[in-house]
């Protein structure tokens, strides 16, 4: 029975919960058993709160106030989920991946966690993340490294690496995460799961000190697009704690995915007009698989917006956000913070107001160029990562197409460029390389266009069929040679 339960999709599990064919407590126990089986191999969820989960399951089974959101879109009816360890859960150890907070237990949950729990999501535990979410490989000094279930010698990506692994292996049905420079998209690509970076304001960030910046967002991960749409329904909506949020759509994302409409014109670019490096095999696979949209009746053309100096713009804006988030911690705990964070924050210290003003003008100019681009195209398709998963012991790929990286963020440029545009983006599996490593596409939609974006992703997923391969048992392996 347990094996049958954790293999179900989230949509299937919720449907059975609503019919009372299974109970929330049965799912909690199935999740706990699966976590015990696979966690030693992957280290995806180092902090568990099983008794808390069981108590929540019992409250939902008892009805009453615990089921007040039962008629709302995104009602999960007692489905177990994971919460990224950057986000507070009341009474549960929350470290942010940092030795500074190794013993931190918050008294109150983040508003997004409160929303997820109100809508029937049961928190099983915290998923692993790089320190303060900074990095494209999931490791920290508190909990160590999270491993890729397709090959445990490889990274799962970052920074929502633990979340991606938790759904890929069947530990939970849905995973919460966040995304600044690709943190929902890279782990999705490396683990053959799906993750969406929503438009800023679609999902509350609650307690962020950068409440007026659109750079970092919260969002869901899952094994397939209908499950992803369900969890975005759970998360979406206005929140008084986040001034950028707005109301959830009148028609749910799940309803749209159930009756999808294909985009008419699809733009494909491998490297944004030669801007970024890609490994040869990743380029070849993604180029071939992007054409699969033609099977849906779409017109697919090679085209790209003019991204301008997007790398410099992203790093300027990111570094300013690091100053807001990390300046005081560097003053008090510099010896406990990893070098990449110190470097990124000090880059912000050195910036002038003129440099920041330039970055803001360039971001606005890029947005205006994207508005023009969307008058012709309904969807932009790119690779979701320039390389396949690399050695779990490295913080970044050693090279991309034979060239060394300038800094730890250089492996995320395909994702971070889209961050600057303000557009939502989905990472979706599209195949495997010759070493058996997952490869994925990044589907980019119009601002606040998550409904159409998810519909396009659902149709593509139905053509390719890779979601049927999940969940998987962790597989040992070796590290392939770098490109």
Model confidence, pTM:
0.98
Residue of 429, 425, 430, 403 lying closest to 414 (CA atoms): 425
The C-alpha atoms of residue 399 and residue 410 are separated, in whole angstroms, by 10
β pairing state of 147-148 and 151-155: antiparallel
CA separation, residue 256 to residues 13, 250, 261 (Å): 19, 11, 8
The secondary structure of 205-255, three-state, reads: CCCCCCCCCCCCEEEEEECCHHHHHHHHHHHECCECCECCCCCCCCCCHHH
For the domain made up of 2-308+363-469, the CATH class stated in words is: alpha beta
How long is the chain? 483
pLDDT values of the chain reduced to their tens digit, one per residue, 483 residues: 668 999 999 999 999 999 999 999 999 999 999 999 999 999 999 999 999 999 999 999 999 999 999 999 999 999 999 999 999 999 999 999 999 999 999 999 999 999 999 999 999 999 999 999 999 999 999 999 999 999 999 999 999 999 999 999 999 999 999 999 999 999 999 999 999 999 999 999 988 999 999 999 999 999 999 999 999 999 999 999 999 999 999 999 999 999 999 999 999 999 999 999 999 999 999 999 999 999 999 999 999 999 999 999 999 999 999 999 999 999 999 999 999 999 999 999 999 999 999 999 999 999 999 999 999 999 999 999 999 999 999 999 999 999 999 888 888 999 999 999 999 999 999 999 999 999 999 999 999 999 999 999 999 999 999 999 999 999 999 999 876
């Amino acid at each position: 029975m347990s094996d049958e339960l954790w293999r179900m999709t989230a949509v299937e599990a919720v449907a059975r919960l609503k019919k009372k064919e299974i109970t929330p407590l049965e799912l909690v126990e199935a999740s706990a058993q699966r976590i015990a089986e696979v966690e030693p191999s992957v280290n995806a969820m180092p902090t568990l709160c099983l008794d808390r989960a069981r108590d929540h399951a019992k409250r939902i089974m008892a009805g009453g106030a615990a089921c007040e959101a039962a008629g709302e879109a995104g009602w999960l009816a007692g489905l177990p989920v994971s919460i990224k360890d950057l986000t507070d859960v009341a009474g549960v150890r929350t470290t942010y991946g940092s030795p500074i907070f190794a013993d931190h237990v918050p008294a109150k949950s983040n508003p997004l966690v409160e929303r997820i729990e109100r809508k029937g999501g049961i928190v099983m535990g915290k998923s692993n993340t790089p320190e303060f979410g900074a990095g494209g490989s999931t490791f920290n000094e508190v909990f160590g490294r999270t491993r890729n279930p397709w090959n445990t010698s490889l990274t799962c990506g970052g920074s929502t690496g633990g979340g991606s692994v938790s759904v890929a292996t069947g530990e939970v049905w849905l995973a919460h995460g966040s995304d600044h420079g690709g943190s929902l998209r890279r782990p999705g690509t490396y683990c053959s799961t799906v993750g969406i970076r929503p438009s800023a304001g679609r999902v509350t960030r609650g307690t962020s000190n950068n409440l007026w910046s659109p750079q970092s967002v919260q969002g869901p991960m899952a094994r397939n697009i209908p499950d992803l749409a369900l969890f975005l329904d759970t998360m979406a909506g206005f929140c008084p704690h986040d001034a950028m949020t707005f109301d959830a759509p009148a028609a749910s994302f799940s309803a749209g995915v159930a009756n999808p409409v294909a985009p008419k014109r699809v733009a494909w670019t491998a490297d944004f007009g030669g801007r970024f490096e890609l490994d040869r095999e990743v380029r070849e696979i993604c180029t071939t698989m992007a054409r699969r949209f033609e099977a849906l009746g779409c017109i697919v053309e090679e085209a790209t917006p003019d991204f301008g100096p997007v790398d410099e713009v992203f790093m300027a804006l990111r570094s300013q956000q690091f100053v807001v988030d990390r300046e005081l911690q560097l003053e008090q705990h510099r010896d406990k913070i990893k070098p990449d964070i110190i470097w990124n924050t000090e880059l912000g210290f050195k910036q002038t107001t003129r440099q920041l003003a330039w970055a803001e003008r360039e971001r606005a100019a890029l947005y205006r160029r994207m508005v023009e681009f969307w008058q012709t195209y309904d969807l932009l398709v790119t690779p979701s990562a320039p390389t396949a998963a690399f050695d779990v012991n490295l913080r970044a790929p050693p090279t991309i197409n034979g060239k060394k990286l300038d800094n730890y963020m250089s492996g995320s440029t395909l994702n971070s460029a889209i961050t600057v545009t303000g557009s939502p983006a989905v990472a979706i599996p599209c195949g495997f390389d010759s070493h058996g490593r997952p490869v994925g596409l990044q589907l980019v939609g119009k601002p606040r266009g998550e409904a159409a974006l998810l519909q396009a992703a659902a149709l593509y997923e139905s053509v390719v069929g890779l979601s049927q391969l999940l969940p998987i048992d962790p597989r040992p392996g070796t590290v392939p040679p770098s490109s």
